[in-house]
Amino acid sequence: MSWAGISNENEFYSEHYLSEVFHGDIKAFIERWNAAEQAAREAHDPVPDDRLAPWNRLGRIAHEYLRAQSALERDRDPERRVQPSVSRCANC
């Protein structure tokens, strides 16, 4: 099984663990996240961020992040570039 974002640095985990056991170890977490998100979808429109599964929460903020990154790349004023990004994202 492929796990995007997980790298086996210095072979800390055995290949057997990652291919056969790891999924079972995290299965309960994934099922709990999916169930909480599904319940929130049935009760709310739109679903609050804190009820989304982690991968969906990341997907939701990706657009805002990319807009903020683009704004920083275009901004040539060093004073504004070092300001906290939280204040910049609302104006992107």
Reported as a single tens digit per residue, the pLDDT across 40-82 is 999 988 888 889 999 999 998 898 889 888 988 888 888 877 7
The pTM assigned to this predicted structure is: 0.57
Q: Are residues 20 and 46 in the same domain?
A: yes
Q: Are residues 47 and 63 in the same domain?
A: no
Q: Is residue 21 part of a domain?
A: yes
What is the spatial distance between Cα 10 and Cα 71, in angstroms, rounded to a whole number?
38
Query: Residue 79's pLDDT is what?
Result: 81
Q: Are residues 72 and 46 in the same domain?
A: no
Range of the domain at 64: 54-92
Residue 52: count other Cβ atoms within 10 Å of its Cβ.
19
Domain count along the chain: 2
47 exposure class (CB count in 10 Å sphere: 0-12, 13-18, 19+): buried
Q: Is residue 6 part of a domain?
A: no
